[in-house]
Structure 1
Amino acid sequence: MRGGTDAPGPTAAGPGPAAAPGAQDGPAQGAGGGLRRAFGGLTTRGRSFLAAGLAAGGCAYVLGQPELLRVGLLLTVLPVVCTVVLHRSRHRVAGSRRLVPPRVPAMSEARVHLRVDNVSRLPTGMLMLQDRVPYVLGPRPRFVLDRVEPGGYREVSYRVRSDLRGRYPLGPLQLRLSDPFGMCELTRSFSGQETLTVVPRVQPLAPVRLSGEAAGHGDSRTRALALAGEDDAIPRGYRHGDDLRRVHWRSTARYGELMVRREEQPQRSRCTVLLDTRATAHRGAGPDSPFEWAVSGAASVAVHMLRRGYGVRLLTDTGDTVPASGGTGGFAGATGDGAGAGLAADLLLDALAVVDHSAGEGLARAQDVLRSGNEGMVVAFLGALDEEDASVVARMRQRAGGAVAFLLDEPAWAAGGGWAGEEDRDGDALDRQRRMLRDAGWTVLRVGPEDSLPGLWSGADRFGARQDTEVAP
């Protein structure tokens, strides 16, 4: 972000579109309304001088004391002159902000660098900078800057940190100017803003072999398309440069033109990460709530599967998918290269940074999306379920290559979080739901407040072998 303002000019930059990078705000307005607003910036000292001067002038008139009148004039003129000079000065000050990095995991810090440039031919007085930040990022930063020489600049920085994911606006930057006598203060605002994106924490996971996963499915990362026809070939027309050894003579005779066999086309393994966002399925709030555990788990699994070469998509109980269906079948990272996997991870993390509770009461919409085709593996992060919800989740397994469910242990969370005001479900109902999902082919992992995702994930290994975890990026 970069913006400019006249300082100490008459008015602060009003609300409007943010300035383009490197652009400066227009010149300050002239006298009139701007001057009236400038007098509104009189400090307590300035107002006191003005009141004392008027009182002294009135007393001098009543008592007939010309010496007292001169004192009253001095006390009255000084704050007025300071305000007019501060208003008429044409110092131009440009401000810029640099956020490093613009995306951080929850509970991590980012640093904001501020720079103020004096682009006028006159030196500035003492300046006070103040940046607007949401309260969740910490206290509002304030800085006092010494006199800035013509063409000079000053740089300051501060840190921001959030335990909660989300997108947080930074700015606009405010500049407070005052005269040498402290009679008047004017506040100016720059127009530019930046956005800090706080994404869920991603935990490194072990490359386990999951139930229902085809051997070598995630390692080889390619499969041959099924071949159709009398001799298991899908022919196409000959193109200049095709190898003549791939000519399909039977199709050539049938169609009357040169036909060649298609090359085997790679098809990436797929994984759908299902996140239950229903407000009725999660209780509690804050970074240690079960919903935040599920969001962090979904982010970790999505990034892990992308690193293994899977095409991954995020599906919520509302039926919404990230990325949207289309193109590569609605699966991110389906291009097969490392750069594509990195961009896909950023896309999914940005979506999870702002995901919130939904008002839905069931999982039927998510089932409709999974029913549309062969979705490969399904990894579900589920909140509290009733018998109907468990039946819907069980039917999701029919078209999935493998299915792993992280099921919220609500009684354990209720005991650990001290929830009150609602009757907790009994453990027998939870056990029945687990058996129902297991009978349908799901690998069910019970999630309590003390459980860690890497430990549960390693326990999902179909061979029961714990392997070394990946190195965090």
Structure 2
Amino acid sequence: MTSGGTGHTDADRGQQGGIRAALAGLTTRGRSFLAAGVAAAVCAYVLGQADLLRVGLLLAVLPLVCTAVLHRTRYRVAGSRRLAPARVPASSEARVHLRMDNVSRLPTGLLMLQDRVPYVLGPRPRFVLDRVEAGGRREVSYRVRSDLRGRYPLGPLQLRLTDPFGMCELTRSFSAHDILTVTPRVTSLPPVRLTGEAKGYGDGRQRSLALAGEDDVIPRGYRHGDDLRRVHWRSTARYGELMVRREEQPQRARCTVLLDTRGLAFHGAGPDSAFEWAVAGAASVLVHMLERGFSVRLVTDDGRAVPSEGADGFAAAGQESAEAAGLMMDTLAVIDHSDGTDLSRAYDLLRGGNEGLLVAFFGELDEEQAAVAAKMRRRSGAALAFLVDGDTWGPGTPDGPGPAGGRQERLRTLREAGWTALSAPRGALLEDLWRQADRDRAHLAATGATGATTGGESGS
């Protein structure tokens, strides 16, 4: 059984089990009838009572006939499952639609459906279908909900068949299952401007092609629909075919979201932990920047970038952007703590080029890692950092990244390097911190303080 498709019960496995598997499904009533029939037949043979023998045969044959009929019926039931939607934010509900089709020429008996779901999604759903006529169908649905992000398998669907007399009950499973993806909760962020140019023109007014003069023009072959006023006659004469000037192709504004996943940088677990707050924050920023028209990518402390394909690893425009957004949300749905101890791999990845706007969610930083994070600012435009306040999220450990009293010093280190750095205590709302970051940058720009950045940076 597949999502949106049709599956049949496993007939091959049933044939291998044969009559033994069918007899194993006899209910208490069926076993009682069979035992009574055998006992009556034995007594009739001993006592020489023909009438009692006929009664015994009737009692013994009835459950066997029901078993044989039910054994054949189980191959003729098809089912399908549909998730609406297949990707849902944490704490939101998804509905699972089940459909059963009787593809045989005979009506079914009593059917009981049971779908296997992880316990975090709720109780196991059960449905009773009284009777499905030949060629008929039945549709049922149930809701699932999880406060924990992740990927959860649904199924396989179990079908329990029973005869009208209640003599036999067989349970069979469909082979296919579906996956429900629970993504982090996404917070709607206010459309603030963190100084800089309007979106859509990219990193410091860079252009992919130069159009300074005739010597800088890079022509291409003529395509149907091109404006004839763009024909480059010198190149046309040189190549012997129509050549046109390329149009100016401005780069989209870029945003990189850096998520610190080091296990030693966070304390606690569960949906209200500091790490889950950081994951949800990264998801919120990614969605917000995509809605604003930015090319985005997700980077983790272990140097992994999502999406890994595309121009410089950033999500492209149009349909590719939507697919990349789904890929990033799927990644955040299952992301977990890493075994890393530093941010060097992330720094190596980020120092390769201009990142545009850089938004980072850090756990607790020691002095060395704060210095590494400060150097990441050199290759980006505007840079925002949210540091988890370990004092409010949970007590630190002796093996942790350092005393919490040095957090202000870490924030000062980042700010001196040009970051807009804010502490994120327990219960902090990301939208409030987002507005505070905008106010802090505006204040620094107005006062000309050290570390403030000027024009040429991407806004959000």
- Using the size of structure 1 for normalisation, the TM-score is 0.81
CA distance in 2, matches of 1:230, 1:143: 71
1:463 maps to 2:424: no
1:356 maps to which of 333, 336, 342: 336
Deviates more, 1:373-382 or 1:49-58: 49-58
Contact 1:113 1:155 in 2 (8 A): yes
2:216 maps to which of 234, 242, 245: 234
CA distance in 1, matches of 2:254, 2:85: 31
| 2:138 alignment counterpart | 154
**AA of the residue aligned to 1:101:** P
| 2:261 alignment counterpart | 277
2:113 maps to which of 96, 106, 129: 129
**AA of the residue aligned to 2:288:** H
Deviates more, 1:70-79 or 1:277-286: 70-79
1:441 maps to 2:421: no
Q: Deviations over 1:261-287 (max 9, x none)?
A: 754321122111000111121222211
> Secondary structure of the equivalent of 2:96?
strand
Q: Deviations over 1:187-246 (max 9, x none)?
A: 122233222111111111112232xx5x22426558352877996962335855676688
The alpha carbon displacement at 1:55 in A equals: 4.7
CA distance in 2, matches of 1:125, 1:95: 16
1:373 maps to 2:357: no
Structure 2 gaps, min length 5: 445-460
From the superposition, tell whether residues 163 and 245 of structure 1 become closer, same or farther in structure 2 (CA, over 3 Å): closer
**AA of the residue aligned to 1:46:** G
| 1:327 alignment counterpart | 310
From the superposition, tell whether residues 273 and 168 of structure 1 become closer, same or farther in structure 2 (CA, over 3 Å): same
| 1:471 alignment counterpart | none
From the superposition, tell whether residues 208 and 82 of structure 1 become closer, same or farther in structure 2 (CA, over 3 Å): same
Q: Which residues of 2 match residues 68-467 of structure 1 at below 5 A?
A: 72-89=56-73, 92-210=76-194, 213=195, 215-218=196-199, 223-225=205-207, 234-237=216-219, 263-324=247-308, 326-332=309-315, 334-335=316-317, 337=318, 339-414=319-394, 426-461=403-438, 462-463=441-442
Deviates more, 1:76-85 or 1:259-268: 259-268
CA distance in 1, matches of 2:410, 2:143: 46
| CA RMSD, Structure 1 to Structure 2 (Å) | 3.6
Contact 1:91 1:119 in 2 (8 A): no
Deviates more, 1:274-283 or 1:362-371: 274-283
**AA of the residue aligned to 2:427:** E
CA distance in 2, matches of 1:411, 1:181: 66
From the superposition, tell whether residues 94 and 201 of structure 1 become closer, same or farther in structure 2 (CA, over 3 Å): same
**AA of the residue aligned to 1:76:** A
Which protein is richer in helix relative to its size? 2
The alpha carbon displacement at 1:37 in A equals: 0.7
- Using the size of structure 2 for normalisation, the TM-score is 0.84
From the superposition, tell whether residues 224 and 260 of structure 1 become closer, same or farther in structure 2 (CA, over 3 Å): farther
**AA of the residue aligned to 1:451:** A
Q: Deviations over 1:324-371 (max 9, x none)?
A: 0x4311001x33x4x554333223212211211111111110000001
The alpha carbon displacement at 1:463 in A equals: 2.3
Q: Deviations over 1:378-420 (max 9, x none)?
A: 11111122222111111111111111111010011116xxx88
From the superposition, tell whether residues 340 and 28 of structure 1 become closer, same or farther in structure 2 (CA, over 3 Å): closer
Aligned residues: 438
Q: Percent same amino acid at aligned positions?
A: 62
